[in-house]
Structure 1
């Protein structure tokens, strides 16, 4: 599988639900995060993207790798693959929609059809691990 999109994402689970975001004008939800800028580490990218999207500060020393997921990129040509490197970590502040984010949602596995293909893989793993309702 050729990877066309390389992304980092934050996985925040509370009370059996995972934090997701929905971009303005879109109907599909995704895990917050984004693409690296030149010279950025995964953690630097994650801290910047989460600040931009959700107006919260990740605590860098608490960020831990959850896993790497690859799937068809949502809304892209068939064969376009996204590799999403997922991290957990603590934050300061209350997640709030900002920048390109229209809505912040807490989703369960029953909401699986509302998220991107790569996010579905994360949901499935979290459900199997007993972390997601």
Structure 2
């Protein structure tokens, strides 16, 4: 049985590095964001998840779709895939770990082996387009 996990991610780049998060008890890093709740739009999910995880406020009018990526879901059985719809957006506040997030860090393309399979695809895309060193 194939199962799809529908996630929204915030792509926050600075100085050709990308903001990534690590949850308590996990070793891999993930782009900030999360699963859509019933009835939520992409933008609703992005705003809620980033506020919950990083205590920053996404500025809705600046959200821009960067791309949608599919891969085997990290830590799930074969056949479970994740669809990661990615947005860039400006924000208010300083990213600070909150809720399940234990650590935030800035990663480069050289760190791609430290992130989930779908994040690796995103890192590769950003590297190819000159946005991630």
TM-score by length of 1: 0.97
Per-residue Cα deviation, 1:15-53 (whole angstroms, up to 9, x for no partner): 010000000010000111111112111001100000000
**TM-aligned CA distance change 1:3 to 1:11, over 3 Å:** farther
Per-residue Cα deviation, 1:49-77 (whole angstroms, up to 9, x for no partner): 00000000000000010000000000000
Gaps of 5+ in 2: none
* Alpha-carbon distance in structure 2 between the residues aligned to 1:71 and 1:47: 24
Whether the aligned pair in 2 keeps the contact of 1:3 and 1:83 (CA below 8 Å) is no
Q: Look up the match of 1:99.
A: 99
Mapping of residues 1-133 of structure 1, within 5 Å: 2-133=2-133
Question: Aligned-pair RMSD on alpha carbons?
Answer: 0.8
How far 1:3 sits from its partner (Å)?
4.8
* Segments of 4+ moved more than 2 angstroms: none
Whether the aligned pair in 2 keeps the contact of 1:72 and 1:82 (CA below 8 Å) is yes
Count of aligned positions? 132
Task: Give the secondary-structure state (helix, strand or coil) at the position aligned to 1:31.
Answer: coil
